[in-house]
Amino acid sequence: MAKENKSVNPVAKKYARNGIIAAIVVIIAVLGIWAFASHRGGDATVEQAMESVTESAANGADLRVAVIRMDAIQTDAAALKDLRKQKESYESKLRDELTAEQKALEKEKAEIEKSQDVLSRDALQRRVVDYQNRVAKLQRDLAERAQSIEASFQKALNEVQTKHLDPIIEGAIAKKKLSLVIDGRFARIGADATNLDITDEIISALNKRVSSVKMDKPQGF
């Protein structure tokens, strides 16, 4: 998502299979686990080591914080709604083809069972092997095409993120002079917090910038 403020630890972007866009910035208190091994580090005392730590710290009065609910953007932004519809359309076509292929294979299986007393052993075996090969090929084709749908969807999501959403969030950070932006899925907001949640503003700006993004045609369609 949006690039984190330099003062915040980066969080790797992660895309869920259902198409969910990852968090922008998350405040995480990292607990260091010291592994005591045979190899020793430096010989400085704690007091000596602490000389590297300054007394400077962020002042609460100077901090400007905002919350963006990424789940709401995923649900309500026009471009992302359009992308989900495109993905669902391809998935529906794939399901329809699967249903048709399954019916054809069931019919062939029934014919093979009926021909057991008519065909020679070798001929029957060849037909069974051919049927099994068709089933295996169908499974491979469906898996590859399903993966291609997901890949095209994720590519389009990334385009929305990098070309449109990231610049808008960065623009909001600059315009509002924000010190920190937090993903609302990981925040707990008090009732008296005003002007903290800027999700609706981000969605409105994103809708003005882009209303639809076309997925690349998945392989096999």
Residue 14 falls inside a structural domain: no
Is 51 contained in some domain?
Answer: yes
- Neighbour tally for 94: CB within 10 Å: 19
Which pLDDT belongs to residue 135? Answer: 92
Domain of residue 85, residue span = 46-209
Domain count, the chain: 1
- Has residue 123 been placed in a domain? yes
Report, in this order, helix, strand and coil percent for the chain, each rounded to 5: 55, 5, 40
**pLDDT tens digits along 151-165:** 999 999 999 999 999
Does residue 215 belong to any structural domain of this protein? Answer: no
Inside any domain, residue 161: yes
pLDDT above 90 for 47: no
pLDDT per position as a tens digit, 1-40 = 444 444 433 333 333 333 333 333 332 233 333 333 444 5
Residues 53-63: pLDDT tens digits? Answer: 777 766 667 78
What whole-number distance in Å separates Cα of residue 196 and Cα of residue 64?
9
pTM, full prediction: 0.66
Residue 214 lies in a domain: no
> Comparing 216 with 114, which gets the higher pLDDT?
216
Residue 216: inside a domain? no
